Structure 1
């Protein structure tokens, strides 16, 4: 029967698994409080990956997730995540950050810098053991990459969780978004530094210069176009920026973020932009989340991977909390404020997973390091709502505190 099936049929079997299994676990298990659907999709991918399903049932794993099917899934995943990252870039509100620049700069710097430092220390310790650093990595690239993975805040997932907590449109929610937006920019800047290729530095400098020139013309074009045409122009721009960045050696995801960052949110109807994000999350991102889980590997040994994940989780969470508490002292925040903001900003999931996928693609980290970081991101994100919700209940007045 297996041999009679073509690639199309096997691809559709994979799509059935991707859309059915995580949804049933999420809905029947009522996991939303602990694990949003996106987290369940990633966990399902881990369970279906080579380390668990592949080891228990190697024939079934090889049949469903064969190279042809994985190639098709990866194509969908790449385009989905490019659109998602572009939308995140569009929604960066730097004007608000500038209006509150002292508070935003101090908080964003400490909330990013302290966990980055803690993560780099943890990465330096991991570096002493074989099997964690990628084949193409210098030690500083590995340490900085893992450190930044500990410091990342996943802006799109943060938005979803704050909607669940009903604080997104409240003053505290808007403040947290400002801090996370500034950290987002830093993440992509650090990634560009890590990926800087001295053999292709001419290409990379050429890309940056050309991008600046073309952006000027593109922005003028977008102002001139009607809104219905801007959506098509944005997707053409996305593909072009992704292609140019990848050609230059900076990875197509850096191009996707830059493509969105130079666009203004007011060029698009906000409701349509929100709908686009939701539709991408619904129709295409499950493929990315599950295919990410499929990349996990336990070859170094399951215990070692879990120990590394635990160390990185401690570095990440403690770093965020220390950073926001320092900011709170400097800025005179009220009781409980720093803790709530710190726990919200340690939300990982999507952006960190994208970041670490790029490090894996470029040979900066191994599959084992990727797996440890993925487990850390899952645990970190699952902790957010259960920890923050009771804190908000105790400090209800904070929700309505003006920015």
Structure 2
């Protein structure tokens, strides 16, 4: 078989297996389709299929095919991250700044602290820190991975719980939006390369100037022209950020942040996200699973994943509970908000992919963090749904 046929065989597997498991198995309550896609990637990766059937694995996922899949995955996730940036409503967060800042700070800072403590413990053992990482980069990277909230997946889960457009849902989006800004800011600091600091400073200054001109242009265009221009802007920002050493995902997020959501019809934005999840993002989710490896980690990977999961969940719930006490929330409110902000999956996976690509973590650490993200996201709906039914008055509480 030629490369084209093998590529199409890989696409057939990527699109078929997870969907069949999700649909026939009825896993949606515990594991949304994106989680099933990631788990399928883990099963098809070098750690399981590659060991059980090495010849089949090397035949289907050969370098040419994985290179093509990576290109699709990069572009699809860049568009997804850009949309997340567009949907950040910082004006709304400013209107409720005391509540938003207190909650977002504690919801991010507490699991970050817990995760950093866990990372410090991992530094005592060989095989976790990447070859190009300083100790502080590894600790901060793992800690932030424990603190991440996946805004796009959070939106999907709240849609299923029928609270996205309700006051409680809008409040949670404000908290997650502020945390998203902090996450990408911390990532930029972690990736700061003093040998390329001139380039990075030049990128930031140039970005500010270009963003000013871009916003002027977008304000004068009709919506049908804004979408093509937005994609051109995305490619330019991602290229410039990667050239500067900040990684193309930082550029993709910045490209979206400087765009106003009202420039685009909300229905079209929702449709674009839905179509990305349907057509292109399965490649990213499954190719992420293909990067998992237990070499050098073995059973310790599962132990590390369990410790990181405990740090992430406990940190998030404790942080939000402290915020609830400060802000005098009602009974059960902090628990619902804390579990929803615990959702990880997409953004956290993007984050740790960058750490792996930059050599700041090893494949064993990546696998442990990926398993942690899967576990935390699978816990969200089962934990939140019964709590939400018991405190339905939360749905109508505005602040």
Q: TM-score, normalised by structure 1?
A: 0.99
- Give the superposition deviation at 1:204: 0.0
SS at match of 2:293: coil
- Give the superposition deviation at 1:371: 0.1
Which of 205, 209, 212 in structure 1 is aligned with 2:205?
209
Which residue does the alignment assign to 1:278? 274
1:47-70 C-alpha deviation (Å, 9 max, x unpaired):
000000000000000000000000
Distance in 2 (CA, whole Å) between partners of 1:390 and 1:400 is 17
Which residue does the alignment assign to 2:143? 147
SS at match of 2:29: coil
What is the correspondence of 1:89-238 to structure 2 with a 5 Å cutoff? 89-238=85-234
- Give the superposition deviation at 1:39: 0.3
Distance in 2 (CA, whole Å) between partners of 1:198 and 1:182 is 27
- Give the superposition deviation at 1:302: 2.9
Distance in 1 (CA, whole Å) between partners of 2:298 and 2:6 is 30
- Give the superposition deviation at 1:28: 0.2
1:47-105 C-alpha deviation (Å, 9 max, x unpaired):
00000000000000000000000000000000000000000000000011000000000
- Give the superposition deviation at 1:398: 1.3
Which residue does the alignment assign to 1:381? 377
- Give the superposition deviation at 1:187: 0.3
Distance in 2 (CA, whole Å) between partners of 1:257 and 1:301 is 33
Distance in 2 (CA, whole Å) between partners of 1:338 and 1:273 is 30
SS at match of 1:8: helix
Which residue does the alignment assign to 1:77? 73
Aligned: 1:22 with 2:30 = no
Which of 362, 365, 378 in structure 1 is aligned with 2:361?
365
- Give the superposition deviation at 1:402: 2.0
SS at match of 1:11: helix
Distance in 1 (CA, whole Å) between partners of 2:154 and 2:394 is 18
Please tell me whether the aligned partners of residues 145 and 352 of structure 2 are also in contact (alpha carbons under 8 angstroms).
Answer: yes
- Give the superposition deviation at 1:227: 1.0
Distance in 2 (CA, whole Å) between partners of 1:340 and 1:224 is 42
Which residue does the alignment assign to 1:323? 319
1:9-50 C-alpha deviation (Å, 9 max, x unpaired):
000000000000000000000000000000000000000000
1:85-142 C-alpha deviation (Å, 9 max, x unpaired):
0000000000110000000000000000000000000000011000000000000000
Please tell me whether the aligned partners of residues 110 and 315 of structure 2 are also in contact (alpha carbons under 8 angstroms).
Answer: yes
Distance in 2 (CA, whole Å) between partners of 1:338 and 1:216 is 39
- Give the superposition deviation at 1:397: 1.2
Distance in 1 (CA, whole Å) between partners of 2:292 and 2:7 is 20
What is the correspondence of 1:222-261 to structure 2 with a 5 Å cutoff? 222-261=218-257
Q: What is the CA RMSD across the aligned residues, in angstroms?
A: 0.5
Please tell me whether the aligned partners of residues 127 and 297 of structure 2 are also in contact (alpha carbons under 8 angstroms).
Answer: no
Please tell me whether the aligned partners of residues 42 and 292 of structure 2 are also in contact (alpha carbons under 8 angstroms).
Answer: yes
Give 5+ residue unaligned stretches, structure 2. Answer: none
Which residue does the alignment assign to 1:46? 42
SS at match of 1:302: coil
SS at match of 2:299: helix
Distance in 1 (CA, whole Å) between partners of 2:172 and 2:281 is 24
Give 5+ residue unaligned stretches, structure 1. Answer: none
1:377-397 C-alpha deviation (Å, 9 max, x unpaired):
000000000000000111111
Runs of 4+ in 1 over 4 A off after TM superposition: none
What is the correspondence of 1:296-307 to structure 2 with a 5 Å cutoff? 296-307=292-303
Distance in 1 (CA, whole Å) between partners of 2:96 and 2:219 is 27
Aligned: 1:269 with 2:265 = yes
Distance in 2 (CA, whole Å) between partners of 1:71 and 1:301 is 26
Aligned: 1:37 with 2:39 = no
Distance in 1 (CA, whole Å) between partners of 2:269 and 2:385 is 28
1:191-227 C-alpha deviation (Å, 9 max, x unpaired):
0000000000000000000000011100000011111
